[in-house]
Amino acid sequence: MQDKTATAGAASGDDELVELGVAAAAAAIRNGDITSVAYASALLRRARKHADLNSFITIDESAVLTAAQEADKARAAGAVAPLLGVPIGIKDSYATAGVRTTLGVSNLKNFVPKHGADVVVALQDAGGIVFGKNNLVEMSFGLTGHNSTYGQVKNPYSHAHVPGGSSSGSGAAVAARIVPASTGGDTVGSIRVPASLCGVVGYKPTNGRWPGGGVAPVSHTLDTTGILARSVEDCALLDQIVTRNTTAPTSQRSDLRGVRFAHAPRQYMNVIDPETAAHFTAALERLRDAGADVVEVDLGDDFMDTANRLTWNFFFREMREAVTQFVARNNFPVTFDEIYSDIKPQLKAIWSQVVVPGGPGYLSDEGYESALATERPQLQRRLGQVFTHHAADALLLPTTPCPAPLIEHVSSLTIAGHQVDERFLAYNTIPASGAGLPGISIPIGLSTNGLPIGLEIDAAHGEDIALFDLAGRVESLFETLPTPA
């Protein structure tokens, strides 16, 4: 007969272990307070308990436990690697040596790469363990978490709602305490959108700061790898590891005196859910109370239309060439045409219009060159004025225009009386993507029906370290969201 007392004790111990973030878990393992095996085992039990979220495509439990055992041996022998023994989720657009990598498509359901993506190698070099491969929208092409082959990812705060995308499984797994952090990829908002909708922290680096080798692309102009975690501190730690840069935020201040934030309501709050607007407005007041100067700026009547048109043009126009080169360079046993022929009908219909040359919406060479040479620099200059002309340290905005929509309603959303499609979930994240700026989404509360709401903080190009400092100080003003049931 099962010992119920022992079972309850294990459950209680698991609850404490799975709440550990990256830095806390690494310190606990390093100090001998816990073992990597105990931590990994608790996370594996959590993954089994929440398998219905569909946040992972692949978890090799025996490989995770073997790696944890090796980490404990290394620690006993004196190893002090910064991530020693800490499991990390890996979005399945990242190649992982010895672990199945599908890119979310059926053509690659049995493919196991020989080499890992640059980010994965950096994490493993620091002692991190590949916990598993997170579910994602096919080829990172979508914002809802739906995958026709590997299933719909669900939001941990309400399984009837979307988790965001395309890093859907990453956001859901981190929120559900299955892993303390997961990698993501951000082209138009694919880290920040799921971070906002799932109530975690999502960090999009300045474009070019994080390596992209071994990660399936969408647009070489817009793509960046990045991370989803449960604290700004953990994002900053993982940034140091991936960039192999020991520079860390230096401010020891917890208040915001002397900080100047900008917000642009005419651009970022034109169509917005009332509860999201109320949370954002309350957040601005909280920042003022902490000593910050919060100023309103106007980026122009055509700013959002220009940013969205430009960014989606790059997204669609560059995908075919980027994917074709990626699969050949990384020895993936598939071609773009084979992927195209096997994707779900909804996606194929879009690709035939705007991704495949000859489609009626395919951007001409002239239009593409104009976007690169003229329109994108103009967008970068206009956003740059927030930090130069207005002397702001960061730009604030609601990460998404609404909390997570119902899965059944996502094809046609109503926000503040406006009918929009799923792409509108990235409406606010797109300008930073188009300009290549760094951004962090942090959770600032729950809606009346218990869904997370996110605040995005964008900084000037290359100011990632300063962004971590600011975001950490802002984060400290808000209560930690409750763990989803």
Instruction: Give catalytic residue positions.
Output: 91, 166, 190
Structure tokens of 6? 């022992």
Compute the radius of gyration of the chain from its Cα atoms: 21
Structure tokens of 126? 């620091």
Q: How far apart are CA 272 and CA 395, in angstroms?
A: 18
DSSP code of residue 158: B
| 293-296, strands of its sheet edge to edge | 56-58, 129-134, 87-91, 181-186, 224-229, 201-204, 439-446, 452-458, 394-398, 260-263, 293-296
- Residue environment code for 277-307, b if the CB has 16+ CB neighbours within 10 A, otherwise e: bebbeebbeebeebebbbeebebeeebbebb
Contacts of 471 (CB under 8 A, 6+ apart): 201, 232, 440, 442, 457
Q: How far apart are CA 195 and CA 441, in angstroms?
A: 7
Structure tokens of 350? 């879009």
Structure tokens of 452? 């997370």
Q: How far apart are CA 406 and CA 428, in angstroms?
A: 20
Phi first, then psi: give them for residue 393, nearest 5 degrees.
Answer: -80, -25
Closest by CA to 65, choosing from 98, 38, 92, is 38
Closest by CA to 150, choosing from 115, 222, 101, 190, is 101
Structure tokens of 146? 């739906």
Q: How far apart are CA 256 and CA 243, in angstroms?
A: 27
Q: 375-380 — which CB contacts under 8 Å span 24+ positions?
A: 375/306, 375/310, 376/221, 376/310, 376/314, 376/434, 376/435, 378/306, 379/306, 379/307, 379/310, 379/431, 379/434, 379/435, 380/435, 380/436, 380/461
Q: How far apart are CA 204 and CA 190, in angstroms?
A: 9
Task: Give the E-state strand segments of 404-451 in sequence order.
Answer: 413-415, 418-420, 439-446
